[in-house]
Amino acid sequence: MTLDQLLNEIETRELEFKEKPNPALYKTLSAFSNTNGGVAFVGVSDKKEIIGYRCSNTDLKELSDTLVNKLAIHPVIEPVKCEGKTVLRIDVKKSKNPVAYEGRYYTRVGNTTRLLDAEELERIHHIKH
pTM across the whole model: 0.88
CB 113 within 8 A of CB 106: yes
Backbone φ and ψ for 120, nearest 5 degrees, come out as: -65, -40
Give the homologous superfamily in CATH for domain 3-128: Schlafen, AAA domain (3.30.950.30)
Tens digits of residue pLDDT in 100-112: 999 999 999 988 9
List, in sequence order, every beta strand (DSSP E) within 1-129: 15-18, 38-42, 76-82, 85-92, 100-101, 104-109, 112-115
| pLDDT, position 2 | 67
How many Å apart are CA 29 and CA 17, to the nearest integer?
Answer: 11
From first to last of its 129 residues, the chain has per-residue pLDDT tens of 567 777 777 778 899 999 999 999 999 999 999 999 999 999 998 888 999 998 899 999 999 999 999 999 999 999 999 889 999 999 999 998 899 999 999 999 988 999 988 777 777 666 554
Tens digits of residue pLDDT in 11-34: 788 999 999 999 999 999 999 999
How many Å apart are CA 27 and CA 100, to the nearest integer?
Answer: 8
Backbone φ and ψ for 74, nearest 5 degrees, come out as: -130, 75
How many Å apart are CA 10 and CA 22, to the nearest integer?
Answer: 21
How many Å apart are CA 50 and CA 17, to the nearest integer?
Answer: 10
